[in-house]
Copies of this chain bind each other. A is one copy, B any other.
């Protein structure tokens, strides 16, 4: 029997604010960051389970502090038994009677639990010698529903209904896996659209996106309506009428403001409007969706948990559901959300970008295609070409599609050098910012 022997944690930050990569209406100067956790075991195979929470800088260390609180739940635990009951492990952590007071099921502690859950899935996939999406897609419908906590979901989705969805998708699994391996999974790109970019850079990157085969791009909006109109016009002129253009307001507006602002932009044939208002405002999203129809609403990257997603679906608040790999409590909760979306017939278009989010979330969409929704219709995974060079097995985009990864694991391991250079605050990338260190070195 092997046991989890220790948790190694890292506060990894990239100084992206220096170039305004990732700038939008609410996030003026993000430093893309990842609070990493590595689960070591005493097994002879030497496999390490990797997980992380994506943040945008300050507070990344609070996630690291949360890992320390979770360590006693993990260290000494039987690896096999834990990996064979990840549904039970999820419930134990998420419903821990003391920890849940810090949420419940939201914020720093919930995301930290998500990272260790994801690290266990990474470990399980490495031990199986398969990419995570294949590990998931080869589970039986019964094994999949055992991973899901239906507490607070039963008024919208029961275990039996989830089982029905999974069973009806079972016959086509092999065909869809073959198609995925041959063609990949559709992507769209946000690379051209950051709010801090010049018009010239917007046009150049939009043209590149077109040339690379993307069929959808996304622009950040919400700074000023005049700028948004000018930028959308430039983008539409550049990509032509057949490429979809989505916009993303990053929670910038109140309800009436959103409706008025989007009205000014509707002429540009918008693929969707993303995060028009607070992620907590289920009823606000529903009202916006009603009033801007047929322009579709998309949201999800800041939705705290499955209970809020359930209501967004019940209230018809969204037309596209955007899961995030590190916001909710890991793979298990995202499976619950994929099942909810399938029940309501809403396509899932994951949030990605940041650091490692593309690498992580592609596995969930590929699993969704093979074993849950069974379709690629209206589905695209976000893609941004930032920071992939830090990953041992970075995502690969070909002709505007994510190539299905084949490396064992969840795909989120970073190079050792990345820790050397970007650990905060002692990494070389950050020491250059520190005058006292520079002075001492000089």
Contacts and interface: CB of A to CB of B under 8 A. Distances in A.
Interface of A: 26-31, 55-59, 61-63, 65-66, 68-69, 95-111, 151-155, 251, 254-257, 277-284, 287, 302, 304-305, 307-308, 310-311, 314-315
A386 to B, nearest CB: 16
B151 A97 contact: no
Contacts of A97: 26-30, 56
A62 B69 contact: yes
21 contacts: A28-B97, A30-B98, A55-B101, A56-B101, A58-B96, A59-B69, A62-B109, A65-B65, A102-B111, A106-B304, A107-B108, A152-B254, A152-B284, A155-B255, A155-B287, A278-B307, A280-B308, A283-B315, A284-B307, A284-B311, A304-B304
A102 B62 contact: yes
A323 to B, nearest CB: 17
Nearest to A59: B102
Given A281-B311, A282-B282, A27 B101 contact: yes
A97 to B, nearest CB: 5
A157 to B, nearest CB: 11
Given A27-B101, A280-B308, 8 more contacts: A27-B97, A56-B97, A59-B66, A59-B109, A61-B65, A155-B254, A281-B307, A283-B315
Contact of A108 (B31, B95, B102): B102
A103 B304 CA distance: 8
A56 B287 CA distance: 37
A101 to B, nearest CB: 5
A97 B196 CA distance: 15
Most buried by B among A58, A99, A110, A281: A58
A107 B103 contact: yes
Contact of A66 (B27, B30, B104, B108): B108
Nearest to A107: B107
A174 B281 CA distance: 38
B65 A62 contact: yes
Contacts of A62: 62, 65-66, 69, 102, 108-109
A247 to B, nearest CB: 19
B315 A280 contact: no
